């Protein structure tokens, strides 16, 4: 029996279809949801990500702005831009695209965005809400993975989940979201002893370590659900390669996310969902 492919594009289309009537309702009664994206510098990958975010806003009827300060911008200049957006009622969400230029203090920028406009879910107040399982914007990639698991009806309660990677963007919030659904969660990373042994215990294995094809067949338990968050360049810079060896996932897993086409499409979908929810929160009292 071959592994089930968990199609992120299918889930993305479901999420976006569910958002459209909510956006139409807001537009008819008040105004469209509004998203501002700040792109400092000229990182090629960031430029592609931002273009796709703006494009999706246009397709859904979300108002969007792209602000492009130069790569010489200072922390104070960026904070000034953010504060201006914080004060604008028609902007519901503010996204500061990473990576930032090296001279910019990332922590101060993170704190500069108002928590109710933090559609990335990275502000410490929203991280605290995630820890306490209180409603707040959730980081987009982990939230998208939870939607994928839910819509494919993959059981989480009581399952052993192993998250490989401890980043603030994916690894840590992923572990908390799984924990809130009553999984038994282990967080692993590059310094974990016996990493393959830990991974082989996983009913749900989430690979977010940023190393191409690093998790080979000895890391995968037969019948596991494998979620590959990796977006690595292949040999010679061609194509995308996940953190999991693709053939091993196909042969051993019960279900897995391909790269590309698995987790990738979900991140922007959840950014849109967070923006629409922020608009609903702002306009319910307008």
How far, in Å, CA of 167 to CA of 169, rounded? 5
Q: Which phi and psi angles does 144 have, rounded to 5°?
A: -65, -40
Q: Could you say which of 53, 117, 159, 221 is catalytic?
A: 53
Buried b (16+ CB within 10 A) or exposed e, 18-34: ebeebbeebeeeebbbb
Core vs surface per residue 57-93: b (16+ CB within 10 A) or e? beebebbbbebebeeebebeebbebbeebeeeeebbb
53 flagged as catalytic: yes
Selected catalytic residue, list 118, 120, 203, 228: 120
Give the DSSP per-residue string, 2-36.
Answer: PPEE--HHHHHHHHHHHHHHHHHHHHHHT---EEE
Phi and psi (nearest 5°) for 204?
-125, 115
Question: Which pair of structure tokens corresponds to residue 162?
Answer: 């192993």
For residue 103, what are the CA distances in angstroms to 15, 99, 107, 275?
A: 37, 11, 12, 29
Is 102 an annotated catalytic residue? Answer: no
Return the exposure string of 242-264: e unless at least 16 CB atoms fall within 10 Å of the residue's CB, then b: bbbbeebbeebbbbbbbbebbbb
Residue 25 appears among annotated catalytic residues? no
> Which is catalytic among the residues 97, 117, 159, 172?
97
Structure token pair of residue 114: 């108002």
User: Could you list the active site residues?
Assistant: 53, 97, 120
């Amino acid at each position: 029996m071959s592994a089930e492919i968990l199609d992120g594009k299918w889930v993305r289309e479901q999420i976006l279809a569910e958002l459209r009537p909510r956006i139409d309702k807001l537009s008819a009664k008040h105004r469209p949801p509004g998203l501002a994206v700040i792109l400092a510098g000229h990182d090629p990958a960031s430029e592609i990500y931002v273009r796709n975010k703006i494009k999706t806003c246009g397709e859904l009827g979300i108002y969007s702005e792209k602000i492009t300060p130069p790569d010489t911008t200072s922390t104070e200049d960026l904070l000034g831009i953010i504060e201006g957006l914080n004060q604008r009622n028609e902007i519901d969400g503010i996204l500061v695209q990473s990576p930032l230029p090296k001279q910019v203090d990332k922590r101060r920028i993170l704190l500069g965005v108002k928590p109710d406009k933090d559609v990335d879910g990275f502000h410490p107040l929203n991280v605290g809400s995630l820890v306490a399982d209180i409603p707040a914007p959730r980081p987009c990639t982990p939230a998208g993975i939870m939607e994928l698991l839910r819509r494919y009806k993959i059981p989480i309660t009581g399952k052993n989940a192993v998250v490989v990677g401890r980043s603030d963007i994916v690894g840590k919030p992923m572990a908390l979201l799984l924990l809130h659904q009553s999984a038994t969660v282990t967080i692993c990373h590059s310094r974990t002893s016996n990493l393959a042994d830990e991974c082989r215990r996983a009913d749900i294995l989430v690979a977010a370590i940023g190393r191409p094809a690093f998790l080979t067949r000895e890391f995968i338990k037969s019948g596991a659900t494998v979620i590959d968050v990796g977006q690595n360049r292949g040999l010679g810079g061609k194509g995308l390669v996940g953190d999991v060896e693709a053939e091993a996932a196909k042969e051993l897993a019960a279900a897995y996310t391909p790269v590309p086409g698995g987790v990738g499409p979900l991140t922007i979908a959840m950014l849109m969902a967070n923006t629409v929810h922020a608009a609903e929160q702002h306009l319910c009292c307008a």
